[in-house]
Amino acid sequence: MLNRPISLEDQQRSAVRQEIISSWRRCQVVGVAAHSEDVPYRPEFERPNRLLRAAGPVIDRLADQMEGGPVSILLADADAQIIDRRAGGRELARALDRASVCPGFLYAEEFTGTNGIGSALEERKPFIVSGPEHFRENLQEFTCIGSPVRHPITGSVEGVLDVTCRVDDSHELLKPVVLAAVREIESRIYADASRREQMLLEHFLRASRRATTAVLSLNETVVMANTAASVLLDVSDQAMLWDWACRTLGTGDECVSEVRLARDVVVQARATRVGERGSMAGVLVEMRPQPRPTDRTAAARPRPRPTHLRADREALAGRSVASVRLREDVDTALRTDVPLLVCGEPGVGKLHVAKHLHRRRSGDRPMTVLDALASHDEPAEWIARLISAVSRRETILLRHVDQLVPSVATRVEGVIDAVSESGTRVFATARGRGAHAAAARVLDHFPVSLTVPPLRFRTEDIPDLAPALLAAHTRHRPVPRLLPGTVAALAALDWPGNVRELEAVLATAVTRSMGSDIALGHLPPEYRSTSSRTGRSSLRRAERDIVLEALAETQGNKLAAAERLGIARSTLYRKMRVLGIDENHLPVATAPRAL
């Protein structure tokens, strides 16, 4: 076996192919361990329907031809996750099981080193890895021949077809077999895409002839828009509308609702399923902009706030219902002068909302930000800074106030009382009101609270949040945009780290893009899921969102949430287990609270 890393002289003396050396170097850069046997595994994953429709019959035929032989056929998706395996003989199947070459395991190079699946994806061409050419030692008993499967229209890589056998069973005819099978799969993708796109085109033309409204016909990769729709839509709206249509349609054929597009454009949209029974070619969306308020209506409204305050209000970006509700809660909170508490899960943007409240209320007035976590180490110094800010009559923002230790919490109670009487504005952030006794008494001094909703409740806001997040991490102007496929992939995730996690992902992507718009390939591999929300997956996600919102609005009270949903509490517990909802990390309410 060749040692790694290898020097330039070793490379020149050895017979190792240059493409293998290049792959080894990539593995060394990302820190793949040659002795490790760990492989990332996703026990539940959505299978790419388009790839499986095209590849299934081809793999079935190959498996029949090689039945009982020493060859295994593997199909992986565009993330290098194995989604199907047809093992040959029983002995080979056991060897593959020991090496975790099974459905659900990810074989991207950065996880499992040089191999037929991950390296074919990385190089975007047929790739053979045999014996010691594998970067990891536990794969060196195999020969792998992998080839990317490309979409013949868009050119995107849909997955990888791989044939694997033991080194001693390698045969020069295996590569032509793989390439022929890939050509057949790509031909089937083309035929399938052509049929689906033809249906989309027919529905689009029919609707465009009869309607004067904006008409859009689209699926995961194709969009057709008339002139009226092109004027209305931003580049991010394609993915958002596809996601909205899939979630709203569910198993139905038509739905109508109000949709908020980019640039705060609100439309009445009708979505109609396009496709044959049992399959969905796409959706037809007809949109009519909602009328803007008339001059008479506008004149009857109160005088607007100063321009800089109205502009700052727009800093709370988002088109989702949850974001609209948050902005309404902020407007309500600003009508009071009492201390205000901003709640929410870690990473949702509580500090951003609190600073937004301060700017709208006090403009350029100074604000002192104190983190309660810092009081754990230097309590006396922390209290001194708080008292100093009070003496200067500055606005005060206390972060993580629910983490105050008892000795400091008692002092803070007295300061807040004194500050409130003097008219100084006080804001605080906390995960929620359920804190330990000492901190809970401090929270009781904040009679009004509002909650920033988690990102999983408002994934349609991602295109609106992205510009500011990207601008903070790039010098390029204009700021890169998210391409529709990227938006679709990001919107399909649950974001346990909320906006902070999204910012970290976009910071990585903008570095990889080097100033160009953010494509799917610029995202970290674990964020590139392109699964569409259709069929059962769409219903499952919609059901999960409904259950989570009920739990949020009832402060995690299971009985109240069950009553709100119209189900028994035992049914709610069962649904939480099935939908993967962690009872120990439930969302907090999204409505403002006045005591």
User: DSSP secondary structure string, 142-192?
Assistant: EEEEEEEEE-TTT--EEEEEEEEEEGGG--TTHHHHHHHHHHHHHHHHHHH
Domains 211-289 and 455-527 share a fold: no
Whether residue 532 contacts residue 488, with contact meaning beta carbons closer than 8 Å, is answered with yes
Whether residue 207 contacts residue 288, with contact meaning beta carbons closer than 8 Å, is answered with no
Mean pLDDT score, 12-17? 65
* pLDDT digit string, tens, across residues 220-258: 777 888 888 888 887 778 777 887 887 777 667 888 888
Class of the CATH-defined domain 535-594: mainly alpha
The pLDDT of residue 508 is above 60: yes
- Residue 336's pLDDT is 85
| CA 540 vs CA 274, 534, 545, 560: distances in Å | 21, 10, 9, 22
Q: Which is more confidently placed, 562 or 21? A: 21
CB atoms within 10 A of CB 182: 21
Mean pLDDT score, 267-271? 90
Q: Which is more confidently placed, 70 or 363? A: 70
Listing DSSP states for 79-121 in one string gives TSBEEEEE--SHHHHHHHHHTT-STTBB--HHHH-S-TTHHHH
Mean pLDDT score, 286-310? 53
Q: Which is more confidently placed, 127 or 380? A: 127
Confidence of residue 518 (pLDDT cuts 50, 70, 90): confident
- Residue 46's pLDDT is 65
Among 184-188, 291-295, 414-418, the least confident range? 291-295
User: What is the residue extent of each domain of the chain?
Assistant: 8-191, 211-289, 307-451, 455-527, 535-594
d(CA 444, CA 463): 37
> How remote is the C-alpha of 228 from its chain's centroid?
30
State yes or no: cis peptide before 5, omega within 30 of 0. Answer: yes
Q: Which is more confidently placed, 155 or 27? A: 27
- Residue 435's pLDDT is 63
Q: Which is more confidently placed, 154 or 452? A: 452
Q: Which is more confidently placed, 542 or 216? A: 216
- Residue 139's pLDDT is 94
Residues 6+ apart with CB under 8 A from 18: none
Q: What average pLDDT does the chain have?
A: 81
- Residue 486's pLDDT is 85
Q: Which residues pair with 289 in a beta bridge?
A: 267
Among 2-11, 77-86, 109-118, 548-557, the least confident range? 2-11
Among 241-250, 337-346, 490-499, the least confident range? 241-250
The pLDDT of residue 345 is above 70: yes
Q: Is 314 strand, coil or helix? A: coil
Which value, to the nearest 10 degrees, does the dihedral of the CA atoms of residues 273, 278, 280, 284 take?
Answer: -10
188-209 CB burial, b ≥16 within 10 A, e <16 = bbeebbeebbebbeebbeebbe
Confidence of residue 12 (pLDDT cuts 50, 70, 90): very low
d(CA 130, CA 125): 16
Confidence of residue 200 (pLDDT cuts 50, 70, 90): confident
- Angle made by CA atoms 21, 27, 31, in degrees to the nearest 5: 145
Mean pLDDT score, 578-592? 56
> How remote is the C-alpha of 353 from its chain's centroid?
22
At 305, the amino acid letter reads R
Q: Which is more confidently placed, 10 or 326? A: 326
The pLDDT of residue 372 is above 60: yes
- Residue 542's pLDDT is 60
Mean pLDDT score, 541-547? 68
The pLDDT of residue 22 is above 80: yes
Residues 6+ apart with CB under 8 A from 561: 547, 550, 551, 553, 554, 572
Nearest to 219 by CA among 265, 151, 268, 267: 151
CATH number for the domain running over 307-451: 3.40.50.300
| CA 385 vs CA 247, 378, 388: distances in Å | 50, 11, 5
CB atoms within 10 A of CB 569: 13
- Residue 436's pLDDT is 67
d(CA 488, CA 367): 39
> How remote is the C-alpha of 127 from its chain's centroid?
31
Q: Which is more confidently placed, 115 or 212? A: 115
Q: What is the CA radius of gyration of the chain?
A: 28
* pLDDT digit string, tens, across residues 138-172: 999 999 999 999 988 767 889 999 999 999 888 88
- Residue 116's pLDDT is 94
Mean pLDDT score, 300-304? 43
The pLDDT of residue 69 is above 50: yes
Class of the CATH-defined domain 211-289: alpha beta
The pLDDT of residue 87 is above 90: no
Highest mean pLDDT among 1-5, 336-340, 495-499: 495-499
- Residue 423's pLDDT is 66
d(CA 394, CA 27): 53
The CATH topology of domain 8-191 is Beta-Lactamase (3.30.450)
The pLDDT of residue 300 is above 60: no
* pLDDT digit string, tens, across residues 303-338: 444 433 334 444 688 887 788 888 888 998 888 888
Confidence of residue 582 (pLDDT cuts 50, 70, 90): low
Nearest to 440 by CA among 452, 448, 430: 430
- Residue 148's pLDDT is 96
Class of the CATH-defined domain 455-527: mainly alpha
CB atoms within 10 A of CB 127: 25
Strand stretches in 229-309, DSSP E: 254-260, 266-274, 282-289
- Residue 117's pLDDT is 95
